[in-house]
Amino acid sequence: MNQAVLEARQLSMVLGERQVLQIPSFQVLPGETLVIMGPNGSGKTTLLLCLALLLKPTAGSLAYHGTTVKDAAAELQLRRRFAVVFQEPLLLDTTVLKNVTMGLHLRGIDSQEAKQRAMEWLGRFGIAALAEQSARTLSGGEAQRASLARALALQPEVLFMDEPFANLDAPTRQALIEDFERILRETKVTTVMVTHDRNEALTLANRVAVLIEGNLRQIGLPHEVFASPTDEGVAGFVGVENVLPGVVSAQSKGIATVTVENQKIDAVSELPAGSRVTVCLHPEDVTLAQPAVEATTSSARNHLTGTVIKVFPIGSQVRITIDCGFPLIALITRRSFEEMGLVTGQNIVASFKASSIYLIPHR
């Protein structure tokens, strides 16, 4: 493995009497986009600011390419190799071009090169035509594009971003995320980004770190973290709405039969009989069908008959809660919902594959 660009060791932050962060080790690898996720108040921004040397932790150290940062002079030199983009663009009341060149001038770059770099990055973010326009007249999306151009024009060794897309409307946000993802692929700039949005993480991250109550609960490839959460807290945060306690009642050639509230569920797992587990199942992996239809069309291993107890529309999808002896949540398209004519009190069959289930063993 490549040596870490940044490594935090025994990082701790106490504010008042509250332990905000307690992280034994945290590494940022060269060229990666590392996304820090977690619920509100989990310490995400605090960790980001500590890594960016904008906030001094209560205890712990930070190493840059293996060398511990020991004094204020070293911190200052290192901060000049970083750039930070916040949720608010924080643009000054001058032209877009002057906003982008200002940081370059402060770092001693001459005017000609500063303008050349600024125009290049304004072009890459699609707003070069706005260079002489007042920054105060920009839309939210344009302002954040200018903020990103300002940061990347500095040619940072590490780019830090604190929920940079959070305040944008959905179409503007999607367009900017797509452009930024392309730029990350082209530049391979080492990036640490905070978000609470799962889709942003899946689109942008090489690795995802889940922070809950100041503790690093899981870090890994996005598909690993989302498909195989290490505990119930992570499972809940990454969208596993079906989190159910159970016991493995039988094991046969890599298929574990789990008893959940007197129901039997088959899962792909080598866990032995007698294991206490938490069953994790994403709601989008549950399909619904009328009893007669399901019997002839479904190839899934698990079929549970239940009663619809709640219907909740979410945009183009509908969240259905079924009583199967325990509450089971399914997420289906609005079209499927309308075609089935689902109403509360109706009997329905919920089906899901054994491979869709992830079992967390209790230790």
pLDDT, tens only, 143-200: 999 999 999 999 999 999 999 999 899 999 999 999 999 999 999 999 999 998 989 9
Strands 82-85 and 158-162: parallel
User: Which of helix, strand or coil describes residue 133?
Assistant: coil
Sheet of strand 327-333: strand arrangement: 287-289, 347-352, 302-314, 317-323, 327-333
DSSP assignment letter at 87 = S
Q: Is residue 64 within 8 Å of residue 78, measured between CB atoms?
A: yes
Long-range CB pairs of 311-317 (<8 Å, 24+ gap) are 311/337, 311/342, 311/343, 311/344
The per-residue pLDDT for range 9-38, each reduced to its tens digit, is 999 999 888 999 999 999 999 999 999 999
DSSP assignment letter at 280 = E
Domains of the chain: 6-236 (3.40.50.300), 240-361 (2.40.50.100)
Strands 158-162 and 190-194: parallel
pLDDT at position 297 over 60: no
pLDDT bracket for residue 74 (50, 70, 90): confident
Q: Is residue 179 within 8 Å of residue 6, measured between CB atoms?
A: no
Task: Report pLDDT for 174.
Answer: 95
- Please report how many Cα atoms fall inside a 13 Å half-sphere around the Cα of residue 172, on the Cβ side: 13
pLDDT bracket for residue 1 (50, 70, 90): low
CA 2/CA 344 separation, integer angstroms:
55
Which residue in 164, 163, 133, 131 sits closest to 147, CA to CA? 164
Q: Is residue 264 within 8 Å of residue 245, measured between CB atoms?
A: no
